[in-house]
């Protein structure tokens, strides 16, 4: 039973997100819990509705549950509910609208957060409540998803260029939740050693540029948006050629 549970990595990620929210409740008021649950319910509801109305199918929205946790766990809960609902709709809807060659290229939660950043809404990353747990589970997910190159590519570029431009410790400002959860989202970050390293490297470089030149823009959300935007180019550049059997 437990092995079957672990086989679907979405179950592992949802469990991690639930634990991170539970840990944060020790230092946050009850309103934080209800805010997160509203995000989860809204994203799940929108995903079910879109699939039912337009695709004529019934789903259990695990991906939307994850999106809801991340979106509401990072967005400042002081925003009106209508704002959260609008961002949840943008996040979930992006999977079905912003597509290239039949697949979505943007991390759904991140596209919602990027719209929030563009509207100058504060992001507080409240869900990042225990970095050690995030690292342990994140490494397991990265290994399972074959996303280690993404993490290494990001860290190398981020540490080198942050040290050059900011001349301070980059690990003190790094979001481990971003690195081990958002960056390695399986459907929108690609696969392969060199493609993964390039994807992570782009995100790392843009993060540093945002830190240095665009202090009003969240560096991690902005960098993942740019890396996702580069997905079509990366897909064309890093083509895995089939082996020719003579």
pLDDT tops 90 at residue 132: yes
25 in any annotated domain: yes
Joined together, the tokens standing for residue 188 give 């929108």
Q: List alpha helices for the chain, DSSP H.
A: 2-7, 9-24, 30-54, 62-74, 81-97, 108-118, 131-145, 148-166, 176-177, 193-213, 219-229, 231-237
* Pair 6, 105 in one domain: yes
Of 59 and 245, which is predicted with more confidence?
A: 59
Where in the sequence is the domain holding 48, given as residue range(s)?
A: 2-118
Per-residue confidence (pLDDT) for residue 244, from 0 to 100: 37
Shared domain for 28 and 81, answered yes or no, is yes
Region 156-172 average pLDDT: 90
Mind listing the pLDDT tens digit for each residue in 181-233? 999 999 999 999 999 999 999 999 999 999 999 988 999 999 999 999 999 99
pLDDT digits (tens, 9 = 90+) for 67-77: 999 999 999 99
**For residue 151, is pLDDT > 50?**
yes
Residue 245 lies in a domain: no
Closest CA to 47 of 29, 34, 69, 62: 62
pLDDT of residue 86: 98
pLDDT at 2: 65
pLDDT reported for residue 242? 41
Query: What does the pLDDT look like over 99-131, one tens digit per residue?
Result: 988 888 999 999 999 999 999 999 999 999 999
- Cβ-based burial of 100 (10 A; exposed 0-12, middle 13-18, buried ≥19): exposed
* DSSP letter, residue 100: E
Find tokens 């790094």 and name the residue.
174
- Residues 2-53 have pLDDT tens digits of 677 778 999 999 999 999 999 999 999 999 999 999 999 999 999 999 999 9
Query: What mean pLDDT is predicted for residues 172-181?
Result: 96
Instruction: Report residue 103: phi and psi, to 5°.
Output: -135, 150
- Identify whether residues 90 and 50 lie together within a single domain: yes
Does residue 240 carry a pLDDT above 80?
no
| Total number of domains constituting the chain | 2
Question: Residue 7: inside a domain, yes or no?
Answer: yes
- SS3 assignment, position 131: helix
Cross-strand bridge partners of residue 103 = 100
Distance CA(96)–CA(119), nearest Å, equals: 23
CA distance readout (Å), 32 to 36, 68, 90, 126? 6, 13, 22, 9
pTM: 0.94
Among residues 202, 192, 203, the alpha carbon closest in space to that of 238 is found at 192
Residue 31 and residue 168: Cα distance in Å, rounded? 36
Interatomic CA distance for residues 214 and 229, integer angstroms: 19
pLDDT reading at 241 higher than 50: no
Same domain, 39 and 114: yes
Higher pLDDT, 168 or 155: 155
**CB-CB contact of 16 with 137 (8 Å):** yes
More confident residue, 80 or 215: 80
């Amino acid at each position: 039973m437990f092995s079957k549970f672990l086989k679907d990595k979405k179950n592992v990620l949802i469990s991690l997100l639930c634990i991170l929210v539970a840990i944060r409740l020790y230092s946050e008021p009850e309103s934080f819990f209800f805010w997160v649950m509203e995000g989860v319910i809204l994203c799940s509801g929108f995903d079910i509705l879109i699939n039912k109305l337009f695709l004529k199918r019934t789903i259990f929205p695990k991906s939307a549950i994850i999106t809801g946790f991340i979106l509401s766990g990072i967005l400042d809960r002081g925003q009106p509910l209508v704002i959260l609902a609008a961002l949840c709709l943008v996040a979930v809807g992006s999977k079905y609208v912003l597509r290239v060659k039949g697949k979505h290229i943007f991390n759904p939660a991140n596209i919602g957060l990027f719209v929030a950043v563009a509207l100058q809404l504060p992001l507080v990353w409240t869900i990042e409540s225990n970095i050690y747990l995030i690292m342990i589970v994140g490494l397991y997910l990265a290994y399972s998803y074959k996303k280690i190159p993404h993490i290494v590519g990001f860290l190398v570029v981020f540490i080198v260029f942050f040290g050059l431009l900011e001349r301070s410790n980059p690990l003190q400002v790094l979001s481990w939740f971003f690195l081990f959860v958002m960056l390695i989202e399986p459907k929108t970050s690609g696969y392969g050693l060199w493609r993964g390293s390039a994807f992570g490297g782009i995100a790392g470089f843009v993060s540093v540029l945002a830190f240095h030149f665009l202090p009003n823009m969240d560096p991690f959300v902005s960098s993942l948006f740019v890396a996702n935007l580069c997905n079509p180019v990366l897909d064309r550049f890093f083509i895995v050629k089939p082996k020719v059997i003579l």
